[in-house]
Each structure stands twice: as structure tokens, then as C-alpha cells.
Amino acid sequence: MIGVFDSGLGGLSILKAIRKQLPQYDYLYFGDNARAPYGTRSPELVYRYTWQCVHYLFEKGCHLVILACNTASAKALRDIQQNELLQYDPKRRVLGVIRPTIEQLPQISHTGHIGILATEGTVRSNAFPIEIHKLAPELKITQQACPMWVPLVENNEHNSKGADFFVKKYLQEILVSDPDIDTLVLGCTHYPFLYDKIKNEIQNRQKNITVIKQGEMVALSLQDYLHRHPEIETTCTKNATCTYFTTETAKSFNEKAKTFMNEQIYAENVEFWHDL
Ligand code: DGL
């Protein structure tokens, strides 16, 4: 099975795109909803929580886990790859979502001015500017933390009037910081659920800006990865199933996840508080 991990519901936007591109595989989705949001937590805590969830997915039989969470990709991926995997099983793989997202940016932007919308943790880590500048040092990157967006999605308020206020607020801030931005990256997997509102606000401002959602890019990158790594591909079972785990109550997760996935979801509750 392929494990897909997020702090909560945001990773469903990645899972949806991956399943569309690669429907044949079996997936285990893990949402750490009880401890979301991760975006305002310390690097140490994000690392500890992320490894605990990845470890759980490994124990469930996943050989490959996607961190469908930018905050975890920014703050925990490298340490998990360099420390935990060596001790646990060097043949297992953990991949993040930041690298696949940035690869096309130099071709997409005409002005060379790119905006990154992300959680406070991802912004503070500078993971996006660091990775982008490895590829294209000439690009001008402006970051904006949007701390209210994840709670809006986690609480199913992303279609509300209140959400309009916070969409406007953060877009205003980043577009004042750099009015030449022509490409905005939704650098948090929760944000695609606010996509329509974000597009509306950009239209209201009469701006011509490309808004990048990560799902399709991550899905294509995973397809390419599996093609290049047959030794991993053969560990992935192919019965087109998807199983969900959450640290919240299953009922709460099922209700919210159903609206994002447009299908009935039956999650299983995971409790590992005693291990903390
Ligand atoms: N969805 C996650 C991300 O992509 C984390 C959101 C959060 O828990 O703060 O960054």
C-alpha cells in the first residue's frame, strides 16, 4: 500500500489527485486531525508527530509514504530520511510535496515574481525559497503565512462568509508586498479547498495570476518516481482500495472527508496518546 499522510484533511486534496492519476494502487490515508494544525507548532513537535504517524503507516504495511503536508515536508522530511529510515528499514521510502511543486515554476511565471501562500511553519522554514533558488536563483519569492486558512478547512467553514474575509486579508498582504507576482503557489495542502474564493478575489482585483494547486504535480511526480523505481513499485499492491485512519473520532472525520472526496468514507480511529 502507498501511505498518504497529513496533519488533517488537507492531504485529501493530494490523495484525490493521486488516485485519479494512479487508480490501480491501494492507499492508506492517515489524518492526524486531533493534533492539527501543525503549521503553528515547533519544528521538534512537527517532527515527532510526523514520524509517529509515518511509523504507524509502515507498521500497517506501507513501503512508501507521501508526506501530503508541506509543513511536515519542510520540517520533518529530511530528518526522517536521514535518521529514522536508516534505523527502521533503509528500503522504505518517504517523499515530500515541496520538490514536485516547484519544478515547473520557472516555465510558468513570466514576470519571475512568485508568491508562496503557506503555514507559518513552512514560511519560517524557508523551504520553498531554498528549493526554488536551487533551480532558478533569479526568481523573486515572496512568502505569506495564512494561519486562519487551515482552521477554516478543518472546521468545514471554508465556504462561509467568514472565509471571504481571511482570503481577502492574506491575498491583499502578499500582493501589496509584491505587486508583480504572476504566480501564486498554494503551499499548503488544505488551501485547494479555498481555491474558488482565492480565484474570485484575484478576479476582483483584476489581476492575471496563475494559482498553482499541488495535487496534479505531486501525482505526476509520483508516477514518474514509481516508473524509475521498480523495486518500490513492486511493493505496492494493486486492488484500487483506499483505507482511512484518523486520530480524531471516525464520525467527525467521515462527515468532513465525505464532502471533500464526494464519496462515503469509513475511517478507523487511531489512538497513541500513551506513546507521547
Ligand atoms: N496541510 C498541511 C500543509 O500542507 C498542514 C496544515 C497544518 O496542519 O497547519 O502544510
Give the cell for residue 108.
510558468
Rounded Cα distance, 117 and 177, in Å: 13
Shortest-distance atom of ligand 1 to CA 189:
4
pLDDT for the residue 185: 98
Choice from 144, 188, 193, 248 to test ligand 1 binding pocket (greatest atom count within 8 A of CB): 188
Q: The domain 2-96+216-269: what is its CATH number?
A: 3.40.50.1860
For residue 118, how far is its CA from the centre of ligand 1 (angstroms)? Answer: 8
Shortest-distance atom of ligand 1 to CA 40:
9
For residue 148, how far is its CA from the centre of ligand 1 (angstroms)? Answer: 11
Shortest-distance atom of ligand 1 to CA 10:
1
Residues touching ligand 1 (Cβ under 6 Å) are 6-8, 10, 36-39, 69-71, 119, 122, 150, 188-190
Domain 2-96+216-269 matches domain 99-214 at the CATH topology level? yes
For residue 36, how far is its CA from the centre of ligand 1 (angstroms)? Answer: 8
pLDDT for the residue 272: 75
pLDDT for the residue 275: 54
Rounded Cα distance, 2 and 58, in Å: 10
Is 65 in contact with 57 (CB distance < 8 Å)? Answer: yes
For residue 150, how far is its CA from the centre of ligand 1 (angstroms)? Answer: 7
Q: In which element (H, E) is residue 192 found?
A: none
Place of cell 536508516: 86
Q: H helices then E strands: how many in the chain?
A: 15, 10
pLDDT for the residue 259: 87
Is 156 in contact with 174 (CB distance < 8 Å)? Answer: no
Domain 99-214 has CATH 3.40.50.1460: no
For residue 156, how far is its CA from the centre of ligand 1 (angstroms)? Answer: 15
pLDDT for the residue 78: 96
How many Å is the maximal CA-CA distance in the chain?
Answer: 53
Give the cell for residue 45.
513537535
Instruction: Return the half-sphere exposure (C-beta side, CA atoms, 13 A cut-off) of residue 12.
Output: 26
CB within 8 A of 87, min separation 6: which ones?
none
Choice from 13, 119, 120, 256 to test ligand 1 binding pocket (greatest atom count within 8 A of CB): 119
- All structural domains of the chain with their residue ranges: 2-96+216-269, 99-214
Rounded Cα distance, 65 and 1, in Å: 9
Choice from 7, 73, 128 to test ligand 1 binding pocket (greatest atom count within 8 A of CB): 7
Residues with a catalytic annotation lie at 69, 188
Let me know how long the chain is.
276
pLDDT for the residue 202: 97
Tens of pLDDT along the chain (276 residues) come to: 999 999 999 999 999 999 999 999 999 999 999 999 999 999 999 999 999 999 999 999 999 999 999 999 999 999 999 999 999 999 999 999 999 999 989 999 999 999 999 999 999 999 999 999 999 999 999 999 999 999 999 999 999 999 999 999 999 999 999 999 999 999 999 999 999 999 999 999 999 999 999 999 999 999 999 999 999 999 999 999 999 999 999 999 999 999 889 999 999 999 876 554
- Whole-prediction pTM value? 0.94
